[in-house]
């Protein structure tokens, strides 16, 4: 994420457009635990994922 201008372990909310899903990973290179988001979400601390994301995958649903 740092290569794209996002600080590591600093994500606390996310806007996800309809038709997409995002998978957050706790480690770089899509490693460790993951958390899938299918819609916009804020207050990641409620799910235990605030400031824990080190890599992100975005998928377009069909």
One CATH from 3.40.50.720, 3.90.76.10, 1.10.10.1400, 2.60.20.10 for 2-41+52-60: 2.60.20.10
Which residue has tokens 């979400």?
A: 41
pTM exceeds 0.95: no
Using an 8 Å Cβ cutoff, are 3 and 45 in contact? Answer: no
The pLDDT score that the predictor gives to residue 3 is: 67
Query: Which of helix, strand or coil describes residue 44?
Result: helix
The pLDDT tens digits for 9-62 are 888 889 999 999 999 999 999 999 999 999 998 888 888 888 999 999 999 988
Quote the CA–CA distance of 62 and 51 in Å, as a whole number.
30
Query: Which of helix, strand or coil describes residue 4?
Result: helix
């Amino acid at each position: 994420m740092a290569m794209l201008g996002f600080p590591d372990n600093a994500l606390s909310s996310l806007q996800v457009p309809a038709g997409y899903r995002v998978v957050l990973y706790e480690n770089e290179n899509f490693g460790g635990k993951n958390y899938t988001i299918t819609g916009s979400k804020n207050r990641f601390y409620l799910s235990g994922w605030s400031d824990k994301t080190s890599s992100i995958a975005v998928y377009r649903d069909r």
